[in-house]
Amino acid sequence: MGYFREAGKIGMKANNMEIKTSWLKSSWWIILLIAAGIAAPRVISEFYLLILGEALIMSLFALSFNLLFGHMGQLPFGQAAFYGLGGYGIAMLLTKYQINFWLSFAAGIGLAALAGLIIGIFCVRLRGIYFSILTLAFGQLIFVIIYKWHDFTGGDDGIQGVFPPEFLKTPVSYYYFILLVFCLAAFILWRITNSPFGYILKAMRENSERTEFLGIPIARYQLVAFVISATFAGLAGALWAPFYRSVAPSTLMWIKSGEPVMATILGGAGLFFGPVLGTFIITFFHAYILGFTHFWPIIMGALILIVIFFLPGGVLGFIKEKLDNRKKKEQQS
Amino acid sequence: MSFDVLFNQFLSGIARGALLFLVASGLSLTFGVLRVLNFAHGSLYMLGAFLSYSIWKWLLIPVYGFYVATLLSALAIAGIGLLIEYTILRRLYARGWPEQLLATYALILIITDIVKWFWGGEFLSIPRPEPFTKAVFLFDFPFPSYNFFIIILGLVLVFFLWWLVYKTRLGDIIRAAAHDRDMVSALGIPIPWLFTSIFVLGAFIAGLSGAVTAPYGAVALGMDIEIIIECFAVVVIGGMGSLPGTLLGSFIVGQVYSFGIMYKPELALAFIFMVMAIVLIIRPWGIFGRPER
């Protein structure tokens, strides 16, 4: 294990140098996007600001999913359970027990992390399609418990009146709060994927047997990644509840678990910001389509099939491929 | 707790297990041969239930129309299965399983919306067909005789699948393909044809099992995901792609569900998951499953 850690560190050093030299060249667009995010409330209407806030929260959710899917190579289909538990944690502590907002916020995330640990212990024993089935099943179990435990959780009524503190009550201030949390969380996740730990996850994705033979306890690494993913999904849920002023059991449902999967495949799972792009496309497209029809799922289903058949690497993967091709051509000529 | 109460609960569990076997066997068969987990299997089951209701209504034979409607809707779902396999899945066999899973997930979304479009969100039901309309009294407890129909149908399917898989030439090919697909292909067996027929058979079973649930009075949106989650528990407990495993898994889940409901209805699903967790700790691949790489 120590050997591999060292190997990972060496890999990271080489990578870091690469990052440093290309930092200014490749990250100008991140700075540009953050600037655009800060300027957004002055430019767009309140309606689109709310959609933008939703897109950021869902992007965080999709990023937490892609830590397991894109980087570790396992497809969890029950992430909505952690997202919903984050939301329910903060909502119940705030409304039922009148606990301080920040404590409730932290407790919601903690609840998701704890659930991630308990469910993860069972799920990381399996790989591939079995892992997907089991995560889906556990996710649905949590949904059923919250849905049926009417006395405690409000059942299908959900919980209303989840208010943020006074200074975050306007849409603009809460939007800035979302933007700040999103940037911090995305940065942490980015660091995790580029750490020795992240490289071990990638090694497990490429060849789990060989990684195991190198002395890596893959189940333990998988469990840690699972808990991290659940924690960030819970963070997204805890951000959502005060934003929407309520939570409903639909936040825990399997269909919610499918959303980050769709967004990631659409944007491109192989790239760190793929899930973010996919989420933005879906969220704004959704807001646009709802003006015409309620039959959103059928459009979504058709969109998934189109992406699978015609854009195998996702939108960002497609763009990257075109850019790489152009570079190659330039080098040749 | 007297013996007759327990016996009654046991029989309900058998009926529940038989229904689960009907649905899970198609799922497991498809997975065993194609190595594709059909997320939309539950949606085909739901579509079968709604279709049988509409066909039954259209037939205007209230007493025996049920049997005709069941057969017709199962055939119709088999046709839809053919369409799905031919236009979508066939193009994805060479790709990774995440894409296959996502494609069937897309089918769930599409089928759910189609059902919502045509039938709306109401609960529909067909009256129980002759001769299963009345309750049978076992130890002074009423037990719906329709449950016996489900149990008999489950047994028939068990014997049919056993005969198909272990006693026919197609069965030899099925077992060989589950073991080593490339070798079967190299021996000159047309794999695409095999895959299509197995998927269509799986869809037929899904449509049939959906249609026979209509007399339970629970034809509604959401029945697809409800059954598929329990079927996942069945195949995880029994072992994916294994016929005896699916049978044993259905029996266990049916019993746990039936006694769980008696003890605490809200937690019936939680009990199933506890059993599943115990099985996973002891045998991660299920009781009859084999490790997958």
Residue range A191-215, pLDDT digits in tens: 999 999 999 888 888 888 888 888 8
> Which range, A17-21, B142-146, B149-153, is most confident?
B149-153
∠ CA B153-B135-B260, nearest 5°, is 70
pLDDT at B127 over 50: yes
pLDDT at B192 over 70: yes
What pLDDT score was predicted for residue B78? 95
- Phi/psi for A216 (5° steps) reads -85, 125
> Which parts of chain B fold into alpha helices (H)?
3-34, 41-59, 65-87, 97-119, 146-167, 169-179, 181-186, 191-213, 223-238, 243-263, 268-282
Question: Could you say which residues from 177 to 206 on chain A have a Cβ atom under 8 Å away from some Cβ of chain B?
Answer: none
What pLDDT score was predicted for residue A153? 80
pLDDT in tens, A123-155: 888 888 888 888 988 888 898 888 888 778 877
pLDDT at B248 over 90: yes
Measured between beta carbons, the chain B residues lying within 8 angstroms of A270 are: none
Supply the ipTM of this predicted assembly.
Answer: 0.82
pLDDT in tens, A77-113: 889 999 999 999 999 998 888 888 899 999 999 999 9
- Contact present, B210 and B49 (Cβ < 8 Å): yes
Confidence of residue A22 (pLDDT cuts 50, 70, 90): low
What pLDDT score was predicted for residue B292? 60
DSSP 3-state of A246 = strand
Burial (0-12, 13-18, 19+ Cβ within 10 Å), A47: exposed
CA of A114 to nearest chain B CA: how many angstroms apart?
A: 17
In the predicted model, what is the mean pLDDT of residues B246-268? 87
Classify residue A319: in a domain, yes or no: no
pLDDT at A47 over 70: yes
Classify residue A279: in a domain, yes or no: no
Contact B102 A254 (CB under 8 A): no
In the predicted model, what is the mean pLDDT of residues B145-160? 89
∠ CA B140-B141-B143, nearest 5°, is 130
Confidence of residue B110 (pLDDT cuts 50, 70, 90): very high
pLDDT at A11 over 50: no
Task: Find, among B212, B238, B210, B237, the residue nearest to B224 by Cα.
Answer: B210
Best mutation target among B109, B227, B267 (most A Cβ atoms within 10 Å) is B109
Contact B108 A301 (CB under 8 A): yes
Classify residue A323: in a domain, yes or no: no
What pLDDT score was predicted for residue B57? 84
In the predicted model, what is the mean pLDDT of residues B265-269? 77
- Contact present, A176 and A265 (Cβ < 8 Å): no
pLDDT in tens, B163-175: 998 889 888 888 8
Q: How far is CA A90 from CA A104, A106, B81, in A?
A: 5, 8, 44
Measured between beta carbons, the chain B residues lying within 8 angstroms of A134 are: 232, 236, 280
Classify residue A309: in a domain, yes or no: no
Compare CB distances from B113 to A138, A265, A297 and report the shortest one's residue. Answer: A297
Classify residue A93: in a domain, yes or no: yes
Task: Find, among B23, B21, B69, the residue nearest to B203 by Cα.
Answer: B23
What pLDDT score was predicted for residue A30? 83
Confidence of residue A14 (pLDDT cuts 50, 70, 90): very low
Best mutation target among A122, A132, A138, A140 (most B Cβ atoms within 10 Å) is A140
Residue range of the domain that includes A201: 2-13+42-251
Give chain B's mean pLDDT: 86
What pLDDT score was predicted for residue A255? 82
Q: Where are the domains of chain B?
A: 13-221
**How many residues in chain B?**
293
Query: Given CB atoms, is B114 within the 8 Å cutoff of chain A?
Result: yes
pTM of the model: 0.84
Query: Given CB atoms, is A35 within the 8 Å cutoff of chain B?
Result: no
CA distance A133 to B31: 13
∠ CA B11-B210-B30, nearest 5°, is 100
- Phi/psi for A99 (5° steps) reads -90, 150
Confidence of residue B45 (pLDDT cuts 50, 70, 90): very high
Contact B229 A302 (CB under 8 A): no
What pLDDT score was predicted for residue B25? 92
In the predicted model, what is the mean pLDDT of residues B69-94? 91
How many domains are there within chain A? Answer: 1
CA distance B284 to B278: 9
What pLDDT score was predicted for residue A26? 64
In the predicted model, what is the mean pLDDT of residues A168-180? 89
Classify residue A23: in a domain, yes or no: no
CA distance B199 to A196: 44
Measured between beta carbons, the chain B residues lying within 8 angstroms of A149 are: 266
Classify residue A306: in a domain, yes or no: no
Contact A149 B266 (CB under 8 A): yes
Classify residue A27: in a domain, yes or no: no
Please give the single-letter amino acid code of residue B179: H
